[in-house]
C-alpha cells in the first residue's frame, strides 16, 4: 500500500474539516507555525498542502493576513 505524503495527508485533513464544518467559509486557518505543530511536520509540507488547496479554490491566502476558507457560492 503506497504511503501518502505529508502534504497530501494535511490537505485531505483540511478538506475534511471544511466539509465537516469545523472550518466554515470565511474562517481563518491556524497559522503556519500552529499547523506545523498540529501535524508534527516542518513548514514545507504545510505550505505545499496549502498551495494544493489554493489551486483547488478551497482556500485563499492573503499576504500578511493568513489563509482563509473560500466562501462557497450556492448553486442557484
pTM: predicted TM-score of the whole model, two decimal places: 0.88
pLDDT of residue 73: 62
- Between CA 23 and CA 28 the distance in angstroms is 8
Angle between helices 6-19 and 32-39 in degrees, nearest 10: 110
List the chain pLDDT tens, one digit each, 76 residues: 678 899 999 999 999 999 999 999 999 999 999 999 999 999 999 999 999 999 999 999 988 999 999 987 654 4
Domain boundaries, the chain: 6-62
Please determine, looking at this structure, whether the domain spanning 6-62 carries the CATH number 1.10.10.10: yes
Amino acid at each position: 500500500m503506497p504511503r501518502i505524503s505529508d502534504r497530501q495527508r494535511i490537505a485531505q485533513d483540511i478538506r475534511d474539516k471544511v466539509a465537516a464544518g469545523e472550518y466554515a467559509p470565511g474562517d481563518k486557518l491556524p497559522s503556519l507555525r500552529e499547523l506545523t505543530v498540529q501535524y508534527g511536520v516542518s513548514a514545507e509540507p504545510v505550505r505545499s498542502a496549502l498551495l494544493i488547496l489554493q489551486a483547488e479554490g478551497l482556500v485563499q491566502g492573503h499576504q500578511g493576513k493568513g489563509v482563509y476558507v473560500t466562501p462557497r457560492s450556492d448553486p442557484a
